[in-house]
Amino acid sequence: MSDTVVPNDKIRVRMAPSPTGFLHIGGARTALFNWLFAKHHNGQFILRIDDTDIARSTDESMHEIYTALKWLGLEWDEGGDKGGPYAPYLQSERKSIYDKYVKQLLENGNAYYCYCSTEELEAIRKEARSNKSTRSYDGRCRHISSETKERYVSEGRKPTVRIKMPDKPIRVDDIILGSRNIDPATLEDEVIVRSNGMPNYNLTSIIDDAEMQITHVIRGTEHLNNTPKQIAIANALGLHLPQFAHIPLVLDDSGRKLSKRHHGDLVAVNRYREQGYLPEAMLNFVARLGWSYDDKQEIFSVAELIEKFDLDRVGKSGSVFDIKKLEWLNAHYINELDVSARTDAVMPFWEQEGLVDSSTKRDWLEKIVEAVGERLTTLQDIILQTRYFFSDDFEYESKAVKKWWGSSDEKKEKTCEILTNLGQILQEVTEFDIETVESAIWRYTDENDIKRVAAMQAMRIALTGTSFGPSLFDIVVLLGRDEVLKRIQRAIAYLNVI
């Protein structure tokens, strides 16, 4: 570990997404670990946008990343759309800053122009491969004569700028992974400015980390190979180095790195929001991808995460993305909501489906939510669980019909008889509340030697189309007498024609 000691309230970390797509689970995890580290140490969390790759960066993606981070509650202290003392925070707006440093590198002899064409570079790469060299560029433009340079310029070649890698080992101190010495033979002179004049990630990243007074760089291990390059650049510029902490990969259940390329929108944070996952569940889930407090605790509130999070409990090996665990956590957090908050949470899903509008009575909706109880894994499940409350435009589930209504004429006739009698009873009960309805129905089944479950399921299918769901008496009372009678009639008519 580096021995730089940083006072807690001076800790500054950053997340630096490239806006070339949606925020994915790995990105959310990087954001969360940085945010938690900042909160735990009373420091600052900065959102910097790495958009120097102009061709691939879009405003749309940048805003999608903002939305996803805000949904997760990972608000930043500086950067993004917020500004701050080190503005601008979009790298595309900081080119003059990088130009200044590049000039310094060229002047102090730590960088040089490279005029090699794409074809020449390819030939050098091929040769390096056949010589089994660890470098795919041999640094030949370090030493070109002024005549050759003039010729290249007159040919109209647009140079890149390369950093001269040192010939001594580079020491990388990592809070999570420990220290390593990187053999200089494995590092080639990295392009730091492209031929179109745009600076590259390794240059801009370490310059901004220094300019923005970042104390700790916490990011995924996919950047591990970039770190020695960034250290070399910082050393060549005499910049102060942040401490590094590389967090292990997130893997799928077959051990493959979770990536946009292989897993598509399965890794997109917004997908989980749209499907009705709660931000608390996502945060809890993502926090446990690589960090653990002890072997037992799975449920952590945000406040607890802030209190308990530190880098010394981040493991070295990859962690597995287990969707079942996320579902379990989500159900847990949904169940934690009181009925009113749960109703608020499912409301957008009902509205989106066109089931509820401003004229729908709130207390009726709350009672429906209460009746559904702990049956929601995601908020989206509310649709499947409750659609029949809003409309009788449903089909009868064929398996349920076969099992509970019967397939022989005799059984169907018996079902019709039971439904008719139940309809009669429900028409006659004086009060249409759970207690009265329940005791009237039990009296009927018990006196006529009808199995309670058979009568219940027959009526449940008539009212909901399915054989599962909340308590039948809750459903009956919430639908109301007229609707129940209508649905019983509809079921009888259906039974008569099948």
Sites of contact with ligand GLU (CB under 6 A):
16-18, 50, 205, 219, 223
Shortest separation between residue 487's beta carbon and ligand GLU, angstroms: 54
* Residue nearer to ligand GLU on the CB measure, 190 or 280: 190
Shortest separation between residue 97's beta carbon and ligand GLU, angstroms: 17
Checking DSSP bridges between strand 191-193 and strand 160-163, what pairing results, if any?
A: antiparallel
364: its two tokens: 């009726």
Q: Whole-angstrom Cα distance, residue 320 to residue 37? A: 22
Per the listing, tokens 């399921």 go with: 457
Instruction: Return the closest-CA partner of residue 319 out of 262, 251, 260, 256.
Output: 251
DSSP-assigned states of every residue in 37-91? HHHHTT-EEEE-B----TTT--HHHHHHHHHHHHHHT---SEETTS--TT---BG
Shortest separation between residue 69's beta carbon and ligand GLU, angstroms: 13
Shortest separation between residue 354's beta carbon and ligand GLU, angstroms: 39
* Residue nearer to ligand GLU on the CB measure, 269 or 450: 269
Q: Whole-angstrom Cα distance, residue 12 to residue 74? A: 15
Q: Whole-angstrom Cα distance, residue 230 to residue 472? A: 65
Asked if residue 48 lies in contact with residue 89, where contact means CB atoms within 8 angstroms, the answer is yes
Q: Whole-angstrom Cα distance, residue 260 to residue 177? A: 25
Instruction: Return the closest-CA partner of residue 8 out of 215, 303, 211.
Output: 215
Instruction: Return the closest-CA partner of residue 422 out of 497, 485, 486.
Output: 485
Shortest separation between residue 27's beta carbon and ligand GLU, angstroms: 7
* Residue nearer to ligand GLU on the CB measure, 210 or 281: 210
260 is catalytic: yes
- Among candidate residues 82, 257, 260, 325, the one labeled active-site is 260
End-to-end CA distance of the chain, in Å? 76
- Contacts (Cβ under 8 Å, ≥6 apart) of 170: 181, 182, 184, 187, 228, 231, 232
* Residue nearer to ligand GLU on the CB measure, 29 or 39: 29
Shortest separation between residue 197's beta carbon and ligand GLU, angstroms: 20
The residue type found at 452 is: R
Q: What residue number has its CB nearest to ligand GLU?
A: 50
Q: Whole-angstrom Cα distance, residue 179 to residue 174? A: 6
Shortest separation between residue 206's beta carbon and ligand GLU, angstroms: 9
* Residue nearer to ligand GLU on the CB measure, 17 or 318: 17
* Residue nearer to ligand GLU on the CB measure, 223 or 229: 223
Instruction: Return the closest-CA partner of residue 176 out of 245, 101, 230.
Output: 245
* Residue nearer to ligand GLU on the CB measure, 202 or 466: 202
Q: Whole-angstrom Cα distance, residue 440 to residue 117? A: 89
Q: What residues are labeled active site?
A: 260
